[in-house]
Amino acid sequence: MQFRKTSAALAAVLTLSLAATACGNGGDKGANGDKITIGIKFDQPGMGLKTADGKYTGFDVDVATYIAKELGYKPDQIEWKQAPSAERENLIKNGDVKFVVATYTINDKRKAVVDFAGPYFLAHQDLLVRADDNSITKASDLNNKKLCSVTGSTSAQNVKEKLAPQADLQTFGGYSECLTGLENKAVDALTTDDSILAGYAAQKEHQGKFKLAGLKLSDEPYGVGLKKGDKELRDKINAALEKMKSDGSWDKFVKANLGPANYKNEPAPAITEK
């Protein structure tokens, strides 16, 4: 009898331990009803946006949902967590998310802290101008013109310091303020990644008002950020990305989210993070 009681107690402890393990680390198993937590942007139309009615839309959201499906999770098992640029590494390191898909450029500084799968998209820094403005066709045309970006933007500083030192840089708290300024001619151009610019230009209220200059001022390979050393997860995500490209889903996601801006995207990039 004592042996049976001990065995039952050990079984109970083991069950609780396994349950606790499954709940931690952003969610692990999709088949048994667990959740997976994924970091995305909430404020980037076309890429990662939480809408007023609580839905999540954008290319990054579609990519993340596809990856989750390949890992065994249905859409209703995904918990979306806001991943502002400055918080992405912390969210990954602390285990608050399983992975991050949030216009997350792969670079050496970030790779010292987290690992990446992908890249799954190649963006470039570009300019957004009014649709009827043909005066800006190269970066140097911004000299003596008003260039807008968000406060703390490295994109704007890149233009100001290297490409158009005479540009009149105007900074605001958000891209929507830059778009308003661009529309009413208070500023002449807005700069950040072309994918983000295309997302804004593709919004219904903006369609036909703006165009991308198509200048490719930098290369921005977007990767899926995950915990350092988790090679098993990275391999699974890379396999999902390859499948997403081969079955046509990648093209479908780009067209649905960025197509209305007449965005000329690069082909799906080769995976380099292995």
Do residues 114 and 228 both lie within one domain?
yes
Do residues 64 and 89 both lie within one domain?
yes
Distance CA 172, CA 148 (A): 8
Residue 2 lies in a domain: no
The confidence score (pLDDT) of residue 59 equals 97
Strands (E), 151-270: 168-172, 189-193, 210-212, 220-226
Strands 210-212 and 99-100: unpaired
Do residues 116 and 52 both lie within one domain?
yes
The confidence score (pLDDT) of residue 156 equals 81
0.75 surpassed by pTM: yes
Q: For residue 128, what are the β-bridge partners?
A: 190, 212
Do residues 86 and 50 both lie within one domain?
yes
Please list, in sequence order, all residues whose beta carbon lies within 8 angstroms of the beta carbon of residue 47, skipping any fewer than 6 positions away. Answer: 41, 58, 59, 60, 102, 103, 195, 196, 199, 257
The confidence score (pLDDT) of residue 259 equals 83
Number of domains in the chain: 2
Do residues 111 and 231 both lie within one domain?
yes
Do residues 74 and 139 both lie within one domain?
no
The confidence score (pLDDT) of residue 25 equals 54
CATH number (domain holding residue 64): 3.40.190.10
Radius of gyration of the chain (CA): 22
Residue 49 lies in a domain: yes
The tens digit of pLDDT for each residue in 238-274 reads 999 999 999 999 999 999 998 877 788 999 999 999 9
The confidence score (pLDDT) of residue 62 equals 98
Residue 22 lies in a domain: no
Residue 5 lies in a domain: no
Q: Is 99 left (phi over 0), alpha (psi -120 to 50) or beta?
A: beta
Do residues 177 and 53 both lie within one domain?
no
Residue 248 lies in a domain: yes
Phi, psi of 141 (to 5 degrees): -65, -15
The confidence score (pLDDT) of residue 157 equals 80
Do residues 199 and 169 both lie within one domain?
yes
* Ordered per-residue pLDDT tens for the chain, 274 residues: 544 444 444 444 444 444 444 444 565 555 446 999 999 999 899 999 999 999 999 999 999 999 999 999 999 999 999 998 889 999 999 999 999 999 999 999 999 999 999 999 999 999 999 999 999 999 999 999 999 988 767 788 888 889 999 999 998 877 888 999 999 999 999 999 999 999 988 888 888 999 999 999 999 999 999 999 999 999 999 999 999 999 999 999 999 998 877 788 999 999 999 9
Do residues 230 and 115 both lie within one domain?
yes
Distance CA 91, CA 56 (A): 19
**Segments forming the whole domain that contains residue 86:** 33-123+220-261
